[in-house]
Structure 1
Amino acid sequence: MNYSYIIIDDDQESVLKTKAIADSFSELDFVASADNYEDGLNLILEHTPQLVFLEIDPANTASNLSLALINELYRYLKVIPKIIITTAGKDLAFEAIKYEVFDYLLKPLKRIDVVKSVLKLNKSIVPKEIVSEQTLVVDAEPTVLARQEIPNQDHSLILCIKSYGDYRYIAARDICYFQADNNSTDIYLNTGEMITAFKTLKHFEGVLSFPFIRIHNSYIVNRNYISRIHSGNSVCYIKNSAVKLPFSKSYKVNIDLIISDFSNGNYLEI
């Protein structure tokens, strides 16, 4: 899943550094930047990004950048963007917590800190999307994919592959990986079975979120089925199988996200 973002910072050098780090993540799409309170507010209201990198202790006090911007957003928006504070000092961290900011990163920004924020972002978005059980209906004919909500106590995501009146239901948790095949996609299950859907891999990348992660032009993998990552050979191993999926340099940042996600869990490195 991709997230649009805006940078609000009075220091142009900091804007460029933040953007350089953020642009290394395929999930993050830059919209615009602003160097003062008023322009920043207007950008957020106009573009409604999912993410805002915000400086709250500016060098130029005339910019009026502060946590007050968050209060102003509540006057106009029902859904407030995730706010990531980017500033040089720790002294405003406690006050920022009271504003329920998503994260607080110290300058100069480190890439690993943004990695952790993106992982947190992926995890925070998933529960909101799966409020009730959802069925993704994928026609075998090349038509538009539809999303339907079905009231049920089971909150797992279901994919439905539909073909001429034949409805095939797949629990997303049973999918190991997706493989591109021209304008169709092969879906590989933990049973060893393969099912073809007439949608592109990019289409699935757009409608699925964590733990499904794009690692190659031809592959999306379910992070929960990765048993091993070999950086030297640029391959991921799939649990309980002999399958090895290649990952490309252009998606190396997503591999870093997966490695970091493993280390943030109940984890022991030996």
Structure 2
Amino acid sequence: MQFSYVLIDGSQVIEPTLELIKAHDAFLCVAVCANRTEGINKILELKPDVVFMHLDGLSTPDEDAIRLSLLSELHEFLDVMPTIIVLSSSKEQAFDAYQRGVYGYLLHPVDPNELRKCLFRFQKTHQALYADKIAIKSNGDYHFITTRDIVYLKADNNTTDFYLQSGKVITAFKTLKHFEQLLPFYFFRIHHSYVINVGHVSRINLGKNQCYLLNNEIALPFSRTYKEAIDTIIIRIS
């Protein structure tokens, strides 16, 4: 099981922190943001499980209220809040953020051992909350499908076809939009008719607007409307 995260870091030295987090395979980066506004927009769009927020560089030291107003703003729009972990070179600022309701804090530069403890603690408390199967009702049958076995979904009027890694196709009598809201974060809509599992992407051709799956066995078109999703897929796989 993987958890998604966004890193909000306005400092000039992002890579060391990012590399430390990337060393933990259970956590997958979906966006890196340079400022608070960009961070809020990406959180609302991608709904990550975890947000790492580096306080240094986001505002001046005496602007704690502005810096951490991100929390109250997210509460206005989200029913389920992501887990917020703050990073700061100042123990006082980090502890102040912790008192305001964030999940935890790490002093910067990040100690790999403290990061490991923090992430293991998160996994232990959140693992049971995430199901890795989805129920599909088709002609009176209930199919319980492991989400990672789904290669892509295709809309067909008011039904949805599930294309599985085994080659089997299951038709469900609900819309693609319905299932899009139920699927984990590693599923992306790339076209009005298609949602794909990023784990099965093998190639993307920007010139032909084609996304290839299962070692190029399947080619699906992507539209300009969902170009941002394609850009995010490229960044994640890269």
Partner residue in 1 for 2:200: 225
RMSD across aligned positions (CA): 4.9
Q: Give the C-alpha shift of residue 18 in structure 1.
A: 4.1
- Pick one of 35, 43, 48 that aligns with 2:72: 43
What TM-score comes out, normalization by structure 1 length? 0.51
In the alignment, the residues of structure 2 paired with residue 200 and residue 167 of structure 1 have an alpha-carbon distance, to the nearest angstrom, of 17
Q: Could you list the per-position Cα deviations for residues 39-89 of structure 1 after superposition, in whole angstroms to 9, with x for gaps in the alignment?
A: 7387279557326697968xxxxxxx9223332035xx7xx38x8x9xxxx
Between Structure 1 and Structure 2, whose CA radius of gyration is higher? 1
Q: Give the C-alpha shift of residue 229 in structure 1.
A: 1.1
What TM-score comes out, normalization by structure 2 length? 0.56
Instruction: Decide whether aligned partners of structure 1 residues 99 and 40 sit closer, same or farther in structure 2, where only a CA change above 3 A counts.
Output: farther
Instruction: Decide whether aligned partners of structure 1 residues 53 and 168 sit closer, same or farther in structure 2, where only a CA change above 3 A counts.
Output: closer
Counterpart of 2:98, as a letter, is: N
Matched, 1:93 2:136: no
Is this contact kept in 2: 1:213–1:254, CA < 8 A?
yes
Identical columns (%): 34
Is this contact kept in 1: 2:36–2:70, CA < 8 A?
no
Is this contact kept in 2: 1:41–1:69, CA < 8 A?
no
Partner residue in 1 for 2:95: 68
Matched, 1:253 2:233: no
Instruction: Decide whether aligned partners of structure 1 residues 193 and 262 sit closer, same or farther in structure 2, where only a CA change above 3 A counts.
Output: same
Unaligned runs of 5+ in 1: 10-14, 58-64, 86-91, 102-123, 135-156, 264-270
In the alignment, the residues of structure 2 paired with residue 41 and residue 260 of structure 1 have an alpha-carbon distance, to the nearest angstrom, of 25
Instruction: Decide whether aligned partners of structure 1 residues 41 and 247 sit closer, same or farther in structure 2, where only a CA change above 3 A counts.
Output: closer
- Pick one of 161, 172, 175 that aligns with 1:200: 175
Q: Could you list the per-position Cα deviations for residues 192-242 of structure 1 after superposition, in whole angstroms to 9, with x for gaps in the alignment?
A: 322111222222222211432222232111122222111211211121564
Q: Could you list the per-position Cα deviations for residues 230-259 of structure 1 after superposition, in whole angstroms to 9, with x for gaps in the alignment?
A: 121121112156421122334333323332
In the alignment, the residues of structure 2 paired with residue 93 and residue 260 of structure 1 have an alpha-carbon distance, to the nearest angstrom, of 25
Q: Give the C-alpha shift of residue 187 in structure 1.
A: 0.7
In the alignment, the residues of structure 1 paired with residue 182 and residue 37 of structure 2 have an alpha-carbon distance, to the nearest angstrom, of 25
Q: Is the partner of 2:81 in helix, strand or coil? A: coil
Unaligned runs of 5+ in 2: 11-32, 49-58, 117-121
- Pick one of 190, 201, 226 that aligns with 2:165: 190
Partner residue in 2 for 1:19: 37
Partner residue in 1 for 2:28: none
